[in-house]
Amino acid sequence: MKIIMGNWKSQKNSEQSLDWFETFGKLYSPEEGKLVIVAPPFTSLEVISGKFSPLPTNLFLAAQDVSPFPLGAYTGAVAANMLTGLTDYCLVGHSERRQYFSETHQHVANKVDLLLEQQITPVVCIDESYAKDQINALEQNQLEKLIIAYEPLEAIGSGQPQAPEEISEVVASVGKLLPRNVPILYGGSVNDNNFASILNIEGVSGVLVGGASLDPEKFALICGKIS
Ligand code: PGA
């Protein structure tokens, strides 16, 4: 099973999100063994589910983040409980969250816990330098139920993915810190020209695509087929 995940980051309003799904829906043809996950902003999740429910086979929505707190007096926060029924997956600990929003390992662990309580699968992002600490901050029973996205910081948004040998080396060493069968995605400048070779790297279970996922045609190509 290969996982193709798109992360729109802080882009697209509701109308633009609906347009994206409209176009993507015409191009996307589900492939056996491929799981496609799209992470629009919070504000678009409900409108997308409202208009396109049920989503095509093997296509799922994800949130890009979640509150590290449960429901309660936490102004502005979106709790895991509120995502129930809207998303099946949620990104956690993206390097942009860790960098610009000062997220700590503890925040990430809390988010993972709260998501798992809601049966939402966390996609936990790690980078090269801190991978060990980032993984060790999570408990074994959490690790068994999540997806890992390995994203080397210098490759994100640079147009230059990490070299395949390096990806395969890091993925192998990260894999040793995880329970068996935890999927490891690679993210960082994946696009419609390089995705196939990255998906072929041993140990890589999928890709996390930022910039190239904003264009429904490019993303449909990465998802395998264009009809
Ligand atoms: P990029 O972003 O594909 O634009 O490099 C990847 C990510 O940050 O998830």
- pLDDT of 162-201, one tens digit each? 999 999 999 999 999 999 999 999 999 999 999 999 999 9
For 34, the 3-state DSSP assignment is strand
Question: Cα–Cα distance between 67 and 50 in angstroms, integer?
Answer: 23
Please compute the mean of the pLDDT values over residues 29-47 and round it to a whole number.
95
10 Å Cβ neighbour count for 117? 12
Tell me the CA distances in angstroms from 184 to 95, 101, 110, 120, one per residue in order. Answer: 16, 24, 21, 17
Write down the pLDDT at residue 224. 82
Please compute the mean of the pLDDT values over residues 118-122 and round it to a whole number.
98
Atom number in ligand 1 closest to CA 149:
9
Dihedral pair phi/psi, residue 104, rounded to 5°? -105, 170
Residue 72 Cα to ligand 1 middle (Å): 32
Residue 226 in this model has a pLDDT that exceeds 50: no
Which residue has its alpha carbon closest to ligand 1 atom 9?
210
Please compute the mean of the pLDDT values over residues 50-78 and round it to a whole number.
96
Where does 101-193 have alpha helices with state H?
Answer: 105-117, 131-136, 140-143, 164-176
105 is catalytic: no
Q: Please state the length of the chain.
A: 227
Residue 142 Cα to ligand 1 middle (Å): 25
Catalytic residue (one of 22, 94, 103, 202):
94
Residue 76 in this model has a pLDDT that exceeds 50: yes
Which residue has its alpha carbon closest to ligand 1 atom 6?
210
Confidence of residue 225 (pLDDT cuts 50, 70, 90): low
Catalytic residue (one of 15, 151, 154, 202):
151
Structure tokens at 8: 């729109």
Please compute the mean of the pLDDT values over residues 118-123 and round it to a whole number.
98
Please compute the mean of the pLDDT values over residues 80-90 and round it to a whole number.
97
94 is catalytic: yes
Residue 186 Cα to ligand 1 middle (Å): 10
Query: 16-36, pLDDT tens digit by residue?
Result: 999 999 999 999 989 889 999
Write down the pLDDT at residue 60. 97
Question: Cα–Cα distance between 30 and 45 in angstroms, integer?
Answer: 21
Ligand 1, CB cutoff 6 Å, lining residues: 7, 151, 156-157, 187-190, 208-211
Residue 227 in this model has a pLDDT that exceeds 50: no
Please compute the mean of the pLDDT values over residues 134-156 and round it to a whole number.
96
Residue 187 Cα to ligand 1 middle (Å): 6
User: What percentage of the chain carries pLDDT values higher than 90?
Assistant: 95
Which residue has its alpha carbon closest to ligand 1 atom 2?
210
Write down the pLDDT at residue 32. 87
10 Å Cβ neighbour count for 183? 19
Residue 93 Cα to ligand 1 middle (Å): 13
Residue pointed to by tokens 């882009």:
11
The chain-wide mean pLDDT, for the chain, equals 96
Residue pointed to by tokens 């007096």:
73
